[in-house]
Structure 1
């Protein structure tokens, strides 16, 4: 029956799906148990996570798959669930009992809180008036304490005590740290009074500011007199200069008029001190006439004028350096405090307040002011120095010494410009002395040239540099060695030295040129080349500042060497007896047949004339080079003499090669003509080469 039921055909369902036979037979009833079980098993998804967990629990229990176990499994599981629910109910019963006890406790706490709140409200109502009165008293007390503190702070900040005023204004009180502290306080009070002027009632601020300004003015006058007193005994050579003096100077800088007065007083004192010291260094005797045996007088030790001037300049430079170092310590060693004070003082000056606000106060340059002060300090010594140096310059009669003095003064001029700036009086003195020394140098040089004018007419027999030029070059070498050690800038050295060359060299070279005009060529070129070579040799070691002049000398030597080449070339042409031949054939070219055809017709190419030319050439060639060198034997540069001769010989060989090419071309043309006509004997066919057999190669060998 089951087999039949399973194998029987399915009947159609109302929804389009097939129906089993049982369903078809009993449409009103549900499926039989077996069919439901099968359907349930078939519809189970083994991929479901809960199903897998159920199987895993069964594995953990270790239950064997038997009929008894399968019947008891549901009952066992249900029993376990019932037991677990019972335990949970028991635990919840305990929790409920605890919650009841907590509720009872909270009710007690609420009751106690309400009782305490009632007591607190009653107490607050009974003490409210007392607390209000106490709060008002405390507020009043706090206000009074605040006013006391403000009054105390105001008095401490805006008012000076009697002791402080006495320390600030009385001359009997010392200028010490306490004085400067009170002074700083007074300046702070005056500045802070500007804040008081911002309130509606300005009386208090104006009164305090007026009283403080009076105290500050008295303090500045006291400080000014004290600084002048200290300047009288101040020793700048002492590296430990009184710090109070430096501090006082910085404070006085806020009053430019007082500060400038102090500087003037100080400069006058230092000028006198340095003048006396310089006089002592020169003579060994002080200005009062007291002799100092510990000093070696410059006037007695330095017998040479150059050393004498150098020692005086060295002393002046050393004094200026020492003065500057001391004043740097005194005035600007502590930063820009003086500059700031002076700037502030200038801004507060009455005339500056009345000036145009757009212009503003002039900016203070501390370094420039320091340089001006040092320049004023050494101005007395500078006057003595100028007088002594002028005397040395005017009494000097030596040309080289005059230039050395000018170069020494130029050295110190550059040195002082770096030390004191371009506007110092000392630098101006150095510039004037240098200009005077150069004028003396030019005057002596012109006088020397005037005395040598007679020698400009006598040319040496060997055509060498004249004696006056050799002496000039010795002086010029000494001058260039002196200038080489100068401090002139590299870019200006050549331009600065050009006037010296114009005075000490150009007149002598011009004299040599005038002497050469009275000499016949090529001796004039040889003489000038010898002079130019001597000048080049003397100037060449100093190319750093004579490069342009060297180029001019070399160009002149090249020009005169070219004239010598022309002279030697003319000598080769004339002495070789080939001048007529060269002159006749130079317009012709072997590349043009018409020119070649003219060659046999030329008178110079006739057999007799050509034979004489060949004989003359043979007589000339053996001693040609020696004879040519004899022409330039007075040229003191043997290498240049040979170079000139070789260049002339090369030109001669080039001309000879042109003649040879024309003669060969003429012979070839004659041979072609004879071959075509079939006439002529062998002697006639020999042509020009038989009469004139010399080749260019032979000429070059013989003239090399």
Structure 2
């Protein structure tokens, strides 16, 4: 009711006031500002609030105008300055336009000169590049013409070769004349430099020719490498080096033989000439040492041969000889090879070395020493062949000396064998091997020991097929040369022990028929015991001797068995029984249906008077009585090897038992016809009893 009494305008104001959001930031800020100058909250103050606020705003605007007046004055000053700058700019622009019109011909001329300068600089660079590729620098010319050979010299020489190669590209263009002139100039430089380099290398090599193991400097290596570009000069230089080393090596070898080293140490080699093995070994050792030094010098200086190897087989007989085509190809490629140079260098000592070795061998050294010298030559021949090639003269000299030592060795073996065959040893009374067997086997063992010692230096591992083949090929002729005459002499000596021999050892004494077999068995066993059969190279010879031993032992056992069977009468019976053996076999295959068949009965062993059951039983009884006697069976006491003697006794007992058992089985065979006459009932002893008596296992 009270609200409706308010005036409409007041109502709007009240509503507007009520709608004001007092928590707004603007309201809070306005009230805060109002509180700064609204000090008294009275009715008068509230009524004049509007005018107070307006006065406050007017005061603020007046302050703003006072402050802005200074800024306006500053802007007026800036405007004045800008107008002055604009006037100056217009003046400068007019001056520049006038100047540009005046200097335009100069700018055009400057651009033309810049283009000309670029062209001149390009030509200068082209000339510089041309001189770099086709001309030598003054310092390079000085290095080539100077006396010193060093890095600058080789660098300049490389530049000459490079320029010479670069000139070839000019020949493919329209600058052919310039290319030919430059190539001619560089060729002149090269020829002069290479000739000077060749003389320098020769001088350097002559200066180091007197040293045993000269050192090759980097400069000398580079010089020789550069000379390879001229094969003729390189070959000439290499030949000069080889000649210098050839003469120096000869002098050093003679000095080592006669005067020894500096101050007498090491002592002269010829001071040991009374000891052939040491004398030859010292010479070959010196040669090998010199060869190692010379090879190192040559390989370092001239390079290694293509295709050369240091792992060749020790067996020189299997070394392949280089063909003449290979040598010519090697010389064509490298001018001259290291094998050829080393061959020429060591050619100087071939003759004095060969003469001294042959002098030693012509004195006919002892047998073992000859073999040791042959092995020594084979060892050094392998070393030399791997260093200078198997076709070198030094290798040929060592091969010739080795062959001569082997020839002297086998001649001595042959002489001893012939002497042994001409005068065979007389068998001792106890049929033991003669002393010649032990002496010969002792010599053979010494030879084999020397060979095994030589094989220890073989680069191939033990058991290698190549090593085994080489050992067999080298030791087999020695075994044949030693053992064949020995066995022949033993057999000739054993002939005097045969009962029917034209001359006997003792005309009065009764000779055992088996004596010659026992004697040969003892000799063969002694040889086998002395032969190292564990070596593969000895297996074939040991097998041959074992076969001979088996043959003699079988013959000895057979003769003793025949003697026992003949004494009791079984020998003839067994021989006749064996004549009926085919018939008995056929009867077993197709037995007769009628025992009364006379045609069959006529072919039976029982129908033979010599094979009657009474005679067989009597012979078998005599056999049992004979083998029951302890002195009947042979004991072979004269066989010295216990195992062989036991084997012979065992075979005799077994063969006797088998003979008795065979005859007993024939009598017990229904097809033999003996069952009608009582069969085995007429035989008192059985095969088992005989086996027990003989001790057959």
The TM-score normalised by the length of structure 1 is 0.68
Aligned residue number for residue 683 of structure 2:
692
- Within the alignment, does 1:184 sit opposite 2:155 as a pair? no
- 265, 270, 290: which one pairs with 1:319? 290
Change (3 A) 1:187 1:424: same
SS at match of 1:152: helix
Q: Kindly state the Cα deviation for residue 188 of structure 1 after the two structures are TM-superposed.
A: 1.0
Structure 2 residue aligned with 1:6: none
Partner residue of 1:463? 431
Query: Of residues 381, 390, 400 in structure 1, which corresponds to 2:368?
Result: 400
* Aligned residue runs from structure 1 range 642-657, under 5 A: 642-657=646-661
Q: CA deviation at 1:572?
A: 2.9
2:638 to 620, 634, 639: 634
Identify which of 623, 639, 664 aligns with 1:617.
Answer: 623
1:389 to 350, 357, 360: 357
1:272 aligns with 2:272: no
Change (3 A) 1:558 1:178: same
In structure 2, C-alpha distance between the alignment counterparts of 1:188 and 1:610, rounded to whole Å: 115
Describe the shift of the 1:575–1:544 C-alpha distance in structure 2 as closer, same or farther (beyond 3 A): same
Match of 2:565 in 1: 573
Contact 2:417–2:481 (8 Å) recurs in 1: no
The corresponding residue for 1:548 is: 540
2:134 to 155, 158, 165: 158
CA distance in 2, matches of 1:360, 1:655: 79
Structure 2 Cα separation of the partners of residues 361 and 455 of structure 1: 60
What is the DSSP-based 3-state SS (H/G/I as helix, E as strand, rest coil) of the residue aligned with 1:462?
coil
Q: Is the 8 A contact 1:572 1:649 kept in 2?
A: no
Name the structure 2 match of 1:437: 405
Counterpart secondary structure, 2:333: coil
1-structure distance, mates of 2:516, 2:416: 25
Which residue of 215, 232, 250 maps to 2:189?
A: 215
Shift of 1:611: 6.5
1:501 aligns with 2:479: yes
Report matched runs for 1:343-422 at 5 Å: 364=333, 369-422=337-390
Q: Distance in 2 between matches of 1:448 and 1:374?
A: 42
Alignment map for 1:39-118 (pairs within 5 Å): none
Contact 1:536–1:550 (CA<8 Å) still a contact in 2?
A: yes
Check if 1:564 corresponds to 2:556: yes
Contact kept? 1:169, 1:222, Cα under 8 Å = no
How far has the Cα of 1:664 moved from its partner? Answer: 4.7
Q: Secondary structure at the match of 2:337?
A: helix
Please give the residue correspondences for 1:422-433 in structure 2 after superposition, counting only pairs within 5 Å. 422-433=390-401
Partner residue of 1:248?
A: 223
How far apart in 2 are the matches of 1:240 and 1:459? 70
**How far off is 1:281 after superposition?**
2.3
CA gap 1:159/1:668 in 2 versus in 1, 3 angstroms: closer
**Following the alignment from structure 2 to structure 1, what is the Cα–Cα distance between the partners of residues 470 and 564?**
49
Select 1:259's aligned residue among 234, 256, 278: 234
Compared with structure 1, are the counterparts of its residues 688 and 205 closer, same or farther at alpha carbon in structure 2 (3 Å cutoff)?
closer
Structure 1 pair 318–596 and aligned structure 2 pair: CA distance change class (3 A): farther
Aligned-partner Cα distance in 2 for 1:541–1:583: 41
Match of 1:101 in 2: none
Pick from 139, 143, 149: which aligns with 1:167?
A: 143
Whether contact under 8 Å (2:425, 2:490) holds in the other structure is: no
Segments of structure 1 that go 5 or more residues without pairing to the other structure are 1-121, 337-358, 674-684
CA distance in 1, matches of 2:119, 2:181: 27
Q: Distance in 2 between matches of 1:268 and 1:616?
A: 96
Match of 1:293 among 251, 257, 264: 264
Whole-angstrom distance in 2 between the partners of 1:213 and 1:148: 27
Residue 283 of structure 1 corresponds to which residue in structure 2? 258
Between the aligned partners of 2:672 and 2:193, the Cα distance in structure 1 is 123
User: Deviation of residue 385 (structure 1)?
Assistant: 1.8
The answer on whether the counterparts of 1:656 and 1:696 sit within 8 Å (CA) in structure 2 is: yes
Hey, what's the Cα distance between the residues in 2 that align with 1:149 and 1:304?
81
Instruction: Point out where structure 2 has 5 or more consecutive residues left out of the alignment.
Output: 1-96, 307-327, 459-465, 499-512
Q: Which residue of 1 aligns with 2:664?
A: 660
How far off its partner does 1:248 sit? 1.0
- Could you list the per-position Cα deviations for residues 214-254 of structure 1 after superposition, in whole angstroms to 9, with x for gaps in the alignment? 11111111111111111122276667532211111111121
- In 2, the alpha carbon distance for the partners of 1:258 and 1:670 equals 109
Pairing 1:14-25 to 2, within 5 Å after superposition:
none
Distance in 2 of aligned mates of 1:369 and 1:280: 29
| Deviation digits for residues 113-135 of structure 1 (CA, Å, limit 9, x no counterpart) | xxxxxxxxx99x99999887665
In structure 2, do the counterparts of structure 1 residues 361 and 702 end up closer, same or farther at CA, with 3 Å as the change threshold?
closer
Quickly say closer, same or farther: Cα 1:536–1:234, change in 2 above 3 A: same
1:506–1:601 CA distance, 2 compared to 1 (3 A): closer
The alpha carbon displacement at 1:637 in A equals: 2.5
SS of the equivalent of 1:404 reads helix
CA distance in 2, matches of 1:545, 1:614: 51
Q: What corresponds to 1:75 in structure 2? A: none
- Whether the 8 Å CA contact 2:347–2:394 is kept in 1: the answer is yes
For the Cα contact (< 8 Å) 1:565–1:644, is it kept in 2?
yes
Instruction: Determine helix, strand or coil for the equivalent of 2:433.
Output: coil
Q: How many residues align?
A: 538
1:314 Cα deviation (Å)? 1.2
Q: Distance in 2 between matches of 1:157 and 1:386?
A: 59
Query: What is the distance in 2 between the residues matched to 1:581 and 1:525?
Result: 27
Distance 1:360 1:449 in 2: 51
Kindly tell me: are residues 206 and 670 of structure 1, through their superposed partners in 2, closer, same or farther at Cα, counting changes over 3 Å? closer
**Which string of whole-angstrom CA distances, capped at 9 and with x for unpartnered residues, describes residues 180-218 of structure 1?**
111111111111111111122421111111111111111
1:195 and 1:422 map into 2 onto residues whose CA distance is 48
Correspondence for 2:123 among 133, 147, 161: 147
